[in-house]
Each structure stands twice: as structure tokens, then as C-alpha cells.
Amino acid sequence: MLDDSTPVAKLRNVGQVTASKLCEVGVLNLGDLKTIGADAAFERILVLARRDRTMHSVSVNLLYALWGAIHDVDWRDLPEDKKTDLRELATRLRGEIG
């Protein structure tokens, strides 16, 4: 059973690269991710990627993964309406940061 102290590297949908990026932006565990939300974590990673000139590597799949990690759902199993909402959010955030 996961609790808020579970490190991001142990969350569903979060691999080594994503865990590293989350830690770099101050999201260390499930509690941190829940507190700021998937959208803010995605936005922080986009800002980091903009600085590093790697925004092309940050896709909507990351936002799916972060939302899924908070809700302990595989990102591929998200309902289509949730994916649509998250795609729209990712597009808006990329436009604001890009």
C-alpha cells in the first residue's frame, strides 16, 4: 500500500527519468505530488525542459502518467474524457511556457 511518503521512483507510471525530473523540481514523494497536483508538476517539468532546451521531449504522456500516479491508475487505462481534458491542459501549458 502506498502512502504519502512513498518516493516518486516507486509510483506507478514513474520511471527513472521522470522520477529524476520530479525530484529536480521539488516533488520527492506521493504527498508532494498530491499537494501540487499533476498539472503543476507537469508545468514545473516544462519550465525545466524549456531552460534545458528539451521541451520537445516532454509529451502529454507525462501528464497522463502523473495523473495516474496520483490515482494509482496505469496511464494507458485513463478514461478517454480524462485524456481529452489532460491533452487540452498540456497544450495550454506548453503554449504558456513555450
Domain 8-97 belongs to what topology?
Answer: DNA polymerase; domain 1 (1.10.150)
- DSSP letter for 6, please: S
Mean of pLDDT values over 51-56: 85
Sign of the CA dihedral running 8, 11, 12, 15: positive
Bridge partner list, 11: none
* Domain layout of the chain by residue ranges: 8-97
- DSSP letter for 57, please: G
Q: Give the CB-side neighbour count of residue 74, counting CA atoms within 13 A.
A: 2
pLDDT digits (tens, 9 = 90+) for 74-98: 999 999 999 999 999 999 999 988 7
Residue type, 23: C
pLDDT at 54 over 90: no
Mean of pLDDT values over 54-81: 94
pLDDT at 33 over 90: yes
pLDDT of residue 78: 97
Mean of pLDDT values over 19-33: 97
